Structure 1
Amino acid sequence: MVAKIPNSGKGLSQRTGSCAGLVAYLEKEAPGQWFSLDRDDVPAGEVTQAIDRNKRNLNRDADKYYQVILAPSQAELRHIGSDPEKLRAYTRTAMEQYAANFGKGIEGRDLVYFAKVEHERTTGPQDRAVQLGDVPRGQQKGGEQTHVHVIVSRTENLSRYTERKQAGELERKNPYHLSPLTNHKDTRRGVVTGGFERKQFSERVEQAFDQAFGYDRPLSETFRYAHTMQHGTPEQCAALRTEALREQQQRQAVQQAAAQQLAAEQRRQTTPEHRPVQVDTPQPKPEHTPVRERKPSRGFGMGM
């Protein structure tokens, strides 16, 4: 499971204005089909209005929203049958983890976000094959490519904030501005407390998938393994490769033992001594019908 939060940049990666361009781009595969915390089939126009209006006290050049991309592996997709309904439920769970990861005591309902399931992906500048010149940019990728795009407002849900403020549940003067790209990571002192640990978020959404769908994740498919292979020391990488190989061998041994047991059971059921014995059911005897006594026939004499 890859949980990616792209950095702000140019073009569609520019987050300081309206999200209309990004929403329109994500309409390319199938119009509509947006969903939120508690709604399905949200129109694209409503997505743009809700995100754009949910802002307060942000500078002109400040990010107004962010994008979260949840990309299951092909093994994970096979495990859930690429079921869009399961992916929608999982996305809502992942956004609960997104909220909790700020360390501010907020929940998914304190966010304004909309998401969409897509089934196609094309090659981009970050793909190694594109960088090497093996495939052109924009070429459709093969295999299962189902993934989820989420657009989430930087400002917490203003409607809910106002309601809680009026009810006396909140003492803070302003709503939270929630940036997953902040450099603060679980800070306890200073002007900014909390923060967002992207590594921790990736691990949380991975664990959420495993728990939700009973996925037995190999070590080689974990975020910890991928992160270590990319950022770890040579010694750390070697140790983790050894651990992953050992786990793989153990899994293969368990699978082989299970297959052997199944084969033995099938052979046992087909051997003559274990075949079901067919018992002849005695047929009912026919009822005894009494023989009618035959009367002697009249004879004819030889003479008159």
Structure 2
Amino acid sequence: MPISKPHSSLAADNKGSCSNLAVYLEKENEELDKIISKSKSSSESLEIERRKQGFFTSTETNVSTIEVISSIDNNKKKLAANDAKYFAPTISFSANELNQIAFEATGKRDLQSVWDLNLIELEKYNTLIREYGRKVMDNYALNFNRQDKGISSGSDLLYFGKIEHFRKFKGTDQEVINGTEVSGAYKKGLQSHIHIIVSRKDKSQRLKLSPTCNEKNTSRKIGTNTYQVGFDRVNWINLNERSFDRNFNYKRQKREKFENQNILKNGTPLEKQELARRIENTESNKSINQLNAQNLNVRHSQSITRRR
């Protein structure tokens, strides 16, 4: 499933300026600058330059880092010094999901890297990922249950997203521990993911919105007014999974579903055993049906051949 993590911060302290985080998210563009400095022609330099990623919002693309910092840092009306000023959700994908996005964009499968995409294909691929990121932030907004206060889509939030296409091995990765890879080496295959910087306050600066609060979906009452608060992180992940499958025509296997992955990781031994049995039966029945369909096609072809 698309892994949607509502981090409180990423490589920074979210009680102050977001500048450290925003600058950190320029790291891939800086790597491309190094490649440009070694390029042998102006056309090659331009081709690499066009692979850079700017920040995006619900309506804009290629927003500058300076604008991101200024917008987030100034959207903090009535927040105390020790209040969180922003959050940093990340959206990651499985290899199968990235292959499906690439197929929807280009008709190609089993790509080894975004370097396999020409600029036109890369733009289509980025557009699909960007639009999905916007849908994730629509789900994020709805998941606060504050529609009565004007929070009904990502456009009511102040956020900036950034697509990244590469990941590097870290010292804590099993491959590095086993000695099969070295820390700092690039991971193979498609590795695209999205980083988000979203303000604690909505655009109007009237509401505080926290995806890391402990309340999932609580009804509160002040006087005669009843209202909902909280953020259900599990519900957000499920919403994002359904949005992905719908947007990208993805036929998700039972084993891939978040609710099943959650049980296999966190369930009781009995729950894990029962779910594993159901998944195995489903996969076995699917294999039998596929084999029967293949045999039927073969017999049909043989029948046509004999008649001829």
RMSD: 2.3
Which residues in structure 2 correspond to 1:76-155 (within 5 Å)? Answer: 76-81=97-102, 83-105=125-147, 106=151, 107-124=153-170, 127-130=173-176, 135-155=181-201
Q: Is the 8 A contact 2:8 2:14 kept in 1?
A: no
TM-score computed with the length of structure 1 as normaliser? 0.77
Higher helix share: 2
Tell me whether 144-153 or 259-268 shows the greater mean CA deviation: 259-268
Q: Flag the 1:53–1:254 CA change in 2: closer, same or farther, 3 A.
A: farther
Structure 2 residue identity aligned to 1:247: T
The C-alpha deviation readout for 1:247-286, integer Å capped at 9, x for no partner, is: 21122223323333444454455x2634xxxxxxxxxxxx
Residue 3 of structure 1 corresponds to 4
Equivalent AA in structure 1 for residue 64 of structure 2: P
Aligned residue identity for 1:143: G
TM, length-normalised to structure 2: 0.76
Q: What is the deviation of 1:197? A: 1.0
Tell me which residue corresponds to 1:273.
307
Greater mean alpha carbon deviation, residues 22-31 or residues 134-143: 134-143
Task: Give 5+ residue unaligned stretches, structure 2.
Answer: 30-51, 104-124
CA distance in 2, matches of 1:62, 1:257: 61
- The secondary structure found in structure 1 opposite 2:28 is coil
Tell me if 1:232 matches 2:267: yes
Q: State the 1:135 CA deviation.
A: 4.5
In structure 1, what residue type is equivalent to 2:4? A
User: Which residues of structure 1 form unaligned runs of 5+?
Assistant: 162-174, 275-304
For residues 259 and 234 of structure 1, the distance between their equivalents in structure 2, rounded to whole angstroms, comes to 37
Structure 2 partner of 1:298: none
- How far is the alpha carbon of 1:73 from its aligned partner? 0.8
Letter in 2 for 1:147: H
The answer on whether the counterparts of 1:90 and 1:209 sit within 8 Å (CA) in structure 2 is: yes
Task: Give yes or no for the alignment of 1:242 onto 2:280.
Answer: no
Aligned length: 256
1:7 to partner: Cα distance: 3.9
Residue equivalent to 2:81 = 60
SS in 2 for 1:123: coil
Percent of pairs identical after alignment?
Answer: 32
The 3-state SS of whatever aligns with 1:99 is helix
**Conservation of the 8 A alpha-carbon contact between 1:7 and 1:13:** no
Indicate how the Cα distance of structure 1 residues 251 and 108 shifts in structure 2: closer, same or farther if over 3 A, else same. same
- Deviation (angstroms), 1:48: 1.4
Counterpart CA distance in 1 for 2:289 and 2:71 is 52
Give the secondary structure class of the aligned counterpart of 1:48.
helix
Once the two structures are overlaid, the 10-residue window that deviates more, 128-137 or 60-69, is 128-137
In structure 2, relative to structure 1, the CA distance for the partners of 1:265 and 1:21 (3 Å cut) is: farther
Distance 1:13 1:134 in 2: 31
SS in 2 for 1:34: coil
- 2:289 corresponds to which of 254, 260, 278: 254
1:39 is aligned to 60
* CA–CA separation in structure 1 for the residues paired with 2:293 and 2:100: 20
1:294: which partner in 2?
Answer: none
Contact 1:32 1:42 in 2 (8 A): no
| Structure 1 pair 87–268 and aligned structure 2 pair: CA distance change class (3 A) | farther
Q: Is the 8 A contact 1:34 1:44 kept in 2?
A: yes
Q: 1:198 aligns with which of 223, 233, 251?
A: 233
1:126 CA drift (Å): 5.7
Larger radius of gyration: 1
